[in-house]
Amino acid sequence: MAGLYFEDFTVGAAFEHALSRTVTEHDNISFSLMTLNPQPLHIDSDFSAKTEWGKPLFNSLYTLGIMIGMSVQDTTLGTTVGNLGMSDVRFPAPVFVGDTLRARTEILSKRESKSRPNNGLVEFSHTCLNQEGTVVATCRRMGLMMKRDVA
């Protein structure tokens, strides 16, 4: 499915994204090291075994990326100009290697752009859940979207 144009979004619309993703140890270690994050909670099993978690935590920024990435096909694929910002990012429960993540999105608001008449702003609320239905991440995101008549 191609992404939606500004005019296609309806405030209150909700999307249950079909994609899901089981996260792996390789994902966690590679992402942590590629982003220069040597936090032993992510990359050191021996260290992590001695913490309250008992095992490595999956990198939260990767969880954020997966959550938003899962939304792209249903919402912004090929129709976004860019992300303007993210706020209220939360990680209410941990993610561990082997967890399967899925996401849902709700449209919170939309408005015409004051400075770019060919675009509109859409505010998304993203939620990521694990295989047990536990919410593991949330965020609000503002996207600058193409208008259908201009594309």
Give ∠ CA 95-134-2 in degrees, rounded to 5.
Answer: 85
Average pLDDT over residues 126-139: 98
Amino acid letter for position 89: V
Average pLDDT over residues 12-20: 96
- CATH homologous superfamily of 6-146 equals Hotdog Thioesterase (3.10.129.10)
Task: Give how far the C-alpha of residue 144 lies from the chain's centroid of Cα atoms, to the nearest Å.
Answer: 16
What are the sequence ranges of the domains in the chain?
6-146
The predicted-structure confidence for 51-70, as pLDDT tens digits, reads as follows 999 999 999 999 999 999 99
Q: What is the model's pTM? A: 0.92
pLDDT for 128: 98
pLDDT for 1: 47
The predicted-structure confidence for 36-50, as pLDDT tens digits, reads as follows 999 999 999 999 999
